[in-house]
Chain A
Amino acid sequence: MARTAPTPSATPPDAIRNFCIIAHIDHGKSTLADRMLQITGVVDARQMRDQYLDRMDIERERGITIKSQAVRMPWEFDGRSYALNMIDTPGHVDFSYEVSRSLAACEGAVLLVDAAQGIEAQTLANLYLALENDLTIIPVLNKIDLPAAQPDKYAEELARLIGTDPSACRRVSGKTGDGVARLLDDIVREVPPPVGDADAPARAMIFDSVYDIYRGVVTYVRVIDGRLSARERILMMSTRATHELLEIGVISPEPVPSAGLGVGEVGYLITGVKDVRQSKVGDTVTNSAKPATGALAGYRDPKPMVFSGLYPIDGSDYPALREALDKLKLNDAALVYEPETSAALGFGFRCGFLGLLHLEIVRERLEREFDLDLISTAPNVVYQVTMEDGTEVVVTNPSEFPGGKVAEVREPVVRATVLAPSDYIGSIMELCQQRRGTLRGMDYLSEDRVEMRYTLPLAEIVFDFFDQLKSRTRGYASLDYEADGDVAADLVKVDILLHGEAVDAFSAIVHKDKAYSYGVEMAGRLRKLIPRQQFEVPIQAAIGARVIARENVRAMRKDVLAKCYGGDITRKRKLLEKQKEGKRRMKMVGRVEVPQEAFIAALTNDVAGADKRK
């Protein structure tokens, strides 16, 4: 523990070390961070709770970090006091842009790998990102206290990946604290201090911004050049908006105001704005009176990759859903949505997300924090459709896929990396082939672990790809992917028609070769879910006017006949009243009465998955 700590805003760059921890979801990053907080004395044993830095319930339960944070910790080494800034990074591919900005705020990275499991695909992807950013990598094997740990094996794997000697891999246990103090010493010794021009106009990079109901938006920055001081006016270089700096400080691990932040320092700003869109990750903050001439490189607007319709199960919750989305948006710059109406599901919103996890998290937060019951349509990607007359249409909802003469449809593809034990190469190849993947390369990480690189349509990934991958590899495979532009593909829209009327929520854009199986599966599923009517109800799957699959819900022949004597009349009438009540929850598709539950059930089973498992 440090006896003295350098003062924020008055810490020379050579006493600062900025580092992050790159790790897979359950490889113990939060536990290691907890130990560091304890050993450096910023959190005492009494205040300590597990996963101290993960603030949202969902983060703590899922063991993942959605939003990053930066904690300043004092550390003494060789008789000198240092300030270590640990910048926590989100651990999921959906947030890879945020990861890249967090990495850009650091000079070093602790590459943390579970000594019982070895490196995973996401870690590898983040490692490559760190190497691209010229970060100093400190390889660390965690959980050496576990009986299943194989530190020698994985030290070799890690060493080969980063081109070093296996003996360079530190061995720690975040759980027992073993090796953590030595690791902090190594960080001081090996991670280079930040370099910047103290006299230049201020430039600080935003690597995270979080909405707090009491303080408004809290923006996390790393100062590159110059300094930011309390009470001055700042300028956001991408939006040209200016704000007064109401508060500036460091997190240790609770916010501590300071006079300012100098070169190399990491801390937070509060300006009183209420919407994270006004404080965008990757943007450059400068002094509005003496602005920098050029912004820092690397800024990008968040771009939704996956879309889904979100509908309240109880239609009267629609205003509540709108309000909840408006609130979530304050804390989630990547969330986009607009109102949408579905014949099957009523009023809702078409929402855009960075990826599937982002979708799941938003949905879970809406349900948990705002007490809403929601149904979401099958996630889809964005299609660029060019018509024969040259018109271009961007399709974010399959039911809006244009009819008429389509010249070309382009769909987004990703570069995917799969890491797995080599035993599973065959079944992974089979899966990727089914999902229209192209193998780009394959490397052995060690004797029995392989890295496979594929180009895959994103649409295939959002269709339960990860679940399939996990089940085919007994959970051993890990996956990472990044956007890789778009390509033309032979795609068609399959509509599902009920008694001749298309049901919007079930329209899907699928590859021509899969249209038939999608149609058969969906028609079959609806046949089982749609109650019999007094007339026969055909269920058809169609591409345009061409029917590719058909099922029938046979006409109901009887709904009555039970005895109706003196004692049954009240019961019968009450049943009728109940049915009348239930009818309000029915959706009418033409003359067909469908309980909303049937639509929900049809949507919540995974069609593609069910098809594959046959």
Chain B
Amino acid sequence: MNATLLTSAGLSSTQPVGLLWYLTAAAILFALGLTACMARRNAIGILIGLELILNAAILNFMAFWRFGQPSTHDPSMEGPMMGIFIIVLAACEAAVALAILLNLYFNFGSVEVDKANRMRL
């Protein structure tokens, strides 16, 4: 790894933590969220995993935004904007998901995803 990279990574004496660490954190979070999605039996558990993934994505956006600004006097607000929209959409999606989940609960009697392995006749 060359000095530039390290510098941008924030591993220099005068610089705080850099891009790569944020990205790494986001990656870990993403992996955790994926695990939750795949392995959880409860539908709400899957939703939790989904929220984790989404948050990892927002973190990614913010990290790239923060470490890609040309100057501070006229910042272009991609990072936070993306964050806002993602949060909004996450809210919508959570609402609808829960509505579906309630329907699931009332039809199959439980929230476990395995129980819904057949198309309803």
Our verdict on whether A and B bind, yes or no, reads no
